[in-house]
Amino acid sequence: MFDQIPLSKSREKNYDTLQGAFNGLIDAQENRITNLANASALIYYFMDTINWAGFYLTDEEDTLVLGPFQGLPACTKIPFNQGVCGRAAALQKTVIVDDVNAFDDHIACDARSQSEIVVPLIKNGETVGVIDIDSPEKNRFNTLDQTMLETLAKTLVDKCW
Ligand code: SME
């Protein structure tokens, strides 16, 4: 059904469509994994120039474990404070890396990835997971992506946690 929605050349417009699709598809009554699986599919469809989009979810002892995603298989566990994901989880702030080759602590899962954005999912002050998106182009992510993905993150946490 969603492949019939045309993509715009405007990233802002695509985010608006994505947010609308999110609101329609992410059902608070559903299983959390079900909703996150559909969320990763929507992000992967509506964002251009990306090669991986998905979730890491907080497990015991401040460790992130791989959740639903689209893209190549990825590393399964990331401690808080390691990698871009762990940093965003520990700081509770969005982290944008313009060039992963210049980021010492980057954990390479897909050799094509050149830039990355990680947005924390925060519930009652606790990091419950992160959204992680990789691009095969350097400098792919900017403040528009940050603003729109933080809104999506809030919708997800409100509906799924
Ligand atoms: N690059 C991430 C690891 C996850 S993969 O990108 C899917 C990081 O440094 O935390």
Tens digit of each residue's pLDDT, the chain (161 residues): 666 778 899 999 999 999 988 888 887 778 999 999 999 999 999 999 999 999 999 998 799 999 999 999 999 999 998 999 999 999 999 999 999 999 988 999 889 999 999 999 999 999 999 999 999 999 999 999 999 999 999 999 999 99
The Å distance, Cα 88 to ligand 1 centre, comes to 11
Kindly list the structural domains of the chain, giving each domain's residue range(s) and its CATH number in brackets, ordered by start.
Answer: 2-160 (3.30.450.40)
Q: How far apart are the CA of 56 and the centre of ligand 1, in A?
A: 9
Residue 67, ligand 1, Cβ within 6 A: no
Q: What is the pTM of this model?
A: 0.95
Q: Three-class SS of residue 125?
A: coil
Q: For ligand 1, pick from 55, 57, 81, 84 the residue to mutate: most ligand atoms within 8 Å of CB.
A: 84
Atom of ligand 1 nearest to the CA of 82: 10
What is the 50 CA–ligand 1 centroid distance (Å)? 13
List the one residue out of 147, 158, 154 whose CA is nearest residue 11: 147
| SS3 per-residue string spanning 74-108 | CCCEEECCCHHHHHHHHHCCCEEECCHHHCCCCCC
